[in-house]
Structure 1
Amino acid sequence: MTQPSNLDLDAVLAFATFADSLNFSEAARGLHISQPALHVKVRKLSERLDRPLYRRVGRALELTEHGELVARYGRQLREGTSELLAQLHGMAERPVTLAAGEGAYLYLLKAGITHFQKDASAPLRLLTLNRDEALAAVLGGKAQLGVAPLDIVPEQLQSIVLTTVGQVLAVPEGHRLARRSRLRLKDLAGERLVVPPRGRPHREMLAALLQSAEVLWEVALEANGWELMLSFVAMGAGSAVVNACCSMPPGVVAIPIPELPTLRYHCFHLRGLLKSTPAERLRVSLQDSGNAWKASV
């Protein structure tokens, strides 16, 4: 077994840089070393750990499970080193990175982010990612915090529930369903829906539930993000199933669909996040923002 004293931390840091791009040429340029030298560092690190750290899939490279672990440790080491140097030299704290979806930023997190920035010494970096991408960013050490609707929280993470959100059908005011107080899935039969592209979690969930309920529907058009989807609804392109936290544009009404699952928005981070860090202060601000949103509905 490799002893901590035998682990080449410089090689770990170099591997983390390679893992960010999975491109040896780009990583070598960023490290200001030659590509062969980086290859040697990564190979020796893999030999030292007695584990393959990456593999080739077709013409691309991808990290192995052990490579993901080493990359995460390298990113944490890199960030910790930067924070130490900043404190020693009286510099500003390192950026806090938050990963969340566009809808979460627009409707759930805005107040918390604004409050954090008022008196934060650390700058804030926002990554706009879907649920799976946000989880991967936090698990991989690319973001300290993530916010997304989760059914199951991976055991490597700690989380708190910010809020619970239902789902609604957004329709123009003159739509045949606009005066209904609530809807059932069967009421969507024949609807032309504005939906995200295939493969996106919301699209797949909605399609599966409508198929299970034997409801036939059509794709009006595909669009990414609640704001864009609702804009097309306002134009009369179709209707859209969106989260109940979304603000409806003028001329559009929202009708609850209780048969659709409610979404539990979690704020999550790797286990062991220190309470003294700016990331923890951001987490508290986001929790307060979630509580305020719940109180307003």
Structure 2
Amino acid sequence: MELRQLRQFVVLAEELSFSAAAQRLFMAQPALSVAIRKLEEEIETPLFLRGSRGVRLTPAGEAALEATRRCLNSAGGIKEAARLAAAGELGTLRIGFSGSVTLRLLPGLVQTFSRRYPDVKLELREGTNLELLTLVEAGTLDLGFVRVPASRPPDLRFQLVEEDCLCLALPRSHALAKKASIPLAALEGQPFIGYAPSPVGGLHSAVNLVLQRAGVAPRITQEAVQVQTALGLVASGLGVAMVPAANTPYQRSSGAVFRPIADLPADARIGIALAHHSRNDSPVMQRFLEISAMRANVEPRRKTGVA
């Protein structure tokens, strides 16, 4: 049984005339007669009573007509669903993120995307840079918000979403907190909250590179995995930390104070990028990348210092 046969059946049921139905279907009348006869044979019951004045539906034909219309409507829904999915307007998008993007970046992009594509289901998953890159590479996630610079597996592509820089977070009672900006040399010997090493780089590598280039050796007292953890340790008075500047306006309640680094090298840039697999051709993913690219184009670049 084919959709073409079902459409022919519905047209004949509406016209109750083989000649009128054939004209409407742009086919020869004998061909329509053969098609309807084959349909009746397939469902093993007559659908029409044929007479010299035309045809009329049998009781079985009347019941079949209602079911056929439902079937054709469902088939139309399948076609529309496929069209929307191919256009990236329907489907599921699996996104991974680290904690630092939940304050501002992730909510803004998700809200914009969901307003534009309300029929796309978003599945969100939190993780570290290493976890997110691993999951994207394995195809478990479509996209991962990762902090850069980071190592780039050969099959992954990165789209920069936000450019940022490092600033200092200090306990409110710290002597350096009285300064408007702080030179790197002032960190020599200071209790310092570092970041746990990661094989893919991230904040650990970015912070260490800045300190090494400045020839400064603070005293590492603790190591954190996430920025929020580092801020909690700073607020507890355990040391100072370098943190991304972009989210500092949203972290004033953390118990830490934030100061720009006076002599931060201009090329000591960090940021957030969307990682995706080069072989992932999901239309839904492409729509999200388009929206994130639009945001990156309109968002002004942040100057060195506290945002």
Aligned runs of 1:57-206 on 2, under 5 Å?
87=81, 93-118=90-115, 119-151=117-149, 153-199=152-198, 201-206=202-207
SS at match of 2:259: strand
Which of structures 1 and 2 has the bigger CA Rg? 2
Q: Percent identity?
A: 21
Is 2:276 the partner of 1:269?
yes
Q: How far apart, in 1, do the equivalents of 2:220 and 2:108 lie?
A: 34
Q: How far apart, in 1, do the equivalents of 2:176 and 2:280 lie?
A: 47
How many equivalent pairs are there? Answer: 212
Instruction: Please tell me whether the aligned partners of residues 182 and 260 of structure 2 are also in contact (alpha carbons under 8 angstroms).
Output: yes
Partner of 2:293: 287
* Aligned residue type for 2:161: L
Instruction: Please tell me whether the aligned partners of residues 190 and 240 of structure 2 are also in contact (alpha carbons under 8 angstroms).
Output: yes
Q: How far apart, in 1, do the equivalents of 2:231 and 2:129 lie?
A: 20
SS at match of 1:228: helix
Segments of 5+ residues of structure 1 without an aligned counterpart are: 1-83
State the 1:209 CA deviation. Answer: 4.2
* Aligned residue type for 1:262: R
Instruction: Please tell me whether the aligned partners of residues 145 and 269 of structure 1 are also in contact (alpha carbons under 8 angstroms).
Output: yes
Instruction: Please tell me whether the aligned partners of residues 108 and 290 of structure 1 are also in contact (alpha carbons under 8 angstroms).
Output: no
1:98/1:254 CA distance change after superposition, 3 Å: same
Instruction: Please tell me whether the aligned partners of residues 166 and 244 of structure 2 are also in contact (alpha carbons under 8 angstroms).
Output: yes
Instruction: Please tell me whether the aligned partners of residues 172 and 252 of structure 1 are also in contact (alpha carbons under 8 angstroms).
Output: yes
State the 1:228 CA deviation. Answer: 2.5
Aligned runs of 1:17-36 on 2, under 5 Å?
none
Instruction: Please tell me whether the aligned partners of residues 198 and 204 of structure 1 are also in contact (alpha carbons under 8 angstroms).
Output: yes
Partner of 2:60: none
Q: How far apart, in 1, do the equivalents of 2:243 and 2:132 lie?
A: 20
1:218/1:128 CA distance change after superposition, 3 Å: same
Instruction: Please tell me whether the aligned partners of residues 226 and 246 of structure 1 are also in contact (alpha carbons under 8 angstroms).
Output: no
1:228/1:289 CA distance change after superposition, 3 Å: farther
**RMSD (CA atoms):** 3.4
Q: Which moved more, 1:128-137 or 1:240-249?
A: 128-137
Q: How far apart, in 2, do the equivalents of 1:282 and 1:205 lie?
A: 28
Segments of 5+ residues of structure 2 without an aligned counterpart are: 1-77
Aligned runs of 1:3-14 on 2, under 5 Å?
none
Q: Which moved more, 1:240-249 or 1:191-200?
A: 191-200
Partner of 1:254: 258
Q: How far apart, in 2, do the equivalents of 1:293 and 1:231 lie?
A: 29
Instruction: Please tell me whether the aligned partners of residues 104 and 247 of structure 2 are also in contact (alpha carbons under 8 angstroms).
Output: yes
Instruction: Please tell me whether the aligned partners of residues 147 and 202 of structure 2 are also in contact (alpha carbons under 8 angstroms).
Output: no
Partner of 1:62: none
User: For 1:89-148, what per-residue CA distance to the aligned partner results, in whole angstroms no more than 9, with x for missing partners?
Assistant: x99954211123211233422200122233421221122233333222222211111222
Q: How far apart, in 2, do the equivalents of 1:228 and 1:249 lie?
A: 15
1:138/1:179 CA distance change after superposition, 3 Å: same
User: For 1:5-36, what per-residue CA distance to the aligned partner results, in whole angstroms no more than 9, with x for missing partners?
Assistant: xxxxxxxxxxxxxxxxxxxxxxxxxxxxxxxx
1:170/1:136 CA distance change after superposition, 3 Å: same
